[in-house]
Amino acid sequence: MPADTNPSGDIFGGWLMAQMDLAAGNLAARIARGRSATIAVDGMTFHKPVKVGDEVSLYADLVSSGRTSMRIHVVAWRRNRYAEESVKVTDATFTFVALDGEGRPRPISDR
């Protein structure tokens, strides 16, 4: 939406990063079977702008997991609403930690 843009009409990178964090968080919650939190984001570079009205598609995949943490890679693509071609705009790896009811790290295998 226009409120999420700079004066040139490009979507703010922070908005896109938030959407990527939500996509990664959905996968983390399924893997952890509960609450988890983002603790790091690695390697984000913006290759192309996203304009108002573009369709944004996000794809998240588990890269690795440890006892309490998960690394999830997210790729963002944009498509002009009047075109067929999609263009990769950025990707990054998000690290999440599974949390217990008190907000402390817990093993992923816990339910």
> What's the pLDDT at 95?
98
pLDDT at 7: 86
Q: Is residue 108 part of a domain?
A: no
Quick check: is 103 in a domain? no
Q: Give per-10-residue mean pLDDT for the chain (111 aa).
A: 82 94 98 96 93 94 97 97 95 97 89 49
Q: What is the pLDDT of residue 1?
A: 67
- Domain range for 61 is 2-98
pLDDT at site 3: 81
As a whole number of angstroms, the distance between CA 101 and CA 97 comes to 13
- Whether 106 is covered by a domain: the verdict is no
Buried-state track 37-65, b at ≥16 Cβ within 10 A, e below 16: eeeeeeebeeeebbeeebebebebeeeeb
CATH assignment of the domain containing 94: 3.10.129.10
Tally of structural domains, the chain: 1
